[in-house]
Structure 1
């Protein structure tokens, strides 16, 4: 789960539509997954992302040279602007907890009972979260905690216990790998032993 993959994925989303329709589509999908909890947009974050995007532009031109983008991608600036917009989506701990719970519930939102993610894509998302959701600490986290998780540089984490629950943790101090120090510690203390039992029951 790194920038280059995220940039290409965003270029595939409704790429024949205009930017406004594409953004609305993603936000509406997020709101369904979050059970209509708060999903917003932080313009200050968007402007900051766009102003410090040299590495993302470098990655994008490298991928363009290697023909990684769909043929509909005419402008890398537009493709990256859409990516920066999605990086600037604003959530609360409550909305993220429901989103994690939807993943834990096989793609069915527990508060609305609506199927938001088909079962196979939901399984694939959890597999990716398990293998690479915690940046360079993913392998160690998978071994020590044994649950799908995703962290962000804001200090937020979601953790999914399949068929049991999804939780959101928020504590901004980060370790050297960009993960929440207290979030990782919480998971080690509370989930390391239990996760093996939960995963056996879920399989």
Structure 2
């Protein structure tokens, strides 16, 4: 399963915190599939088929700091372990245009990842795709920063890196690289 983290409601659609959702929306267009709303899992589901395997695409439709609940529900229903889930999320420690695929531990302060750790009761994320959004100059402005829209230049870099990474990921073996792309 691939999960794109973000916040619900239109007012958050174009914010930095929703780049995980942007990734899944672009991925669904790449595979020419659409999402369907699922009340059962509090989110949006789509499916792609790759190398004769079904991959579920999931966008939780609840706030970032609570998304672990819906991810846990859908993973239990489909019998998917946390080590079989790729979590796609925004990353303050990477500049816009940089994506990093990693096997990692902990949340690094990300509230969406904290929610998943708390619900799954595991600190290890075997597969994470971090999408760089940059960092505000003042630490106290982080919440406002992630919930604001990126500049035109930043958004262009983010979208270009997402598109490039999708083409790279699905044209090579994902286990063979850690750093996907830098614009």
**TM-score normalised over the length of structure 2:** 0.29
Q: Which has the larger radius of gyration?
A: 1
Structure whose residues are more often helix by fraction: 1
Q: Report which structure shows greater RCO (CA 8 Å, sep ≥6).
A: 2
Structure whose residues are more often strand by fraction: 2
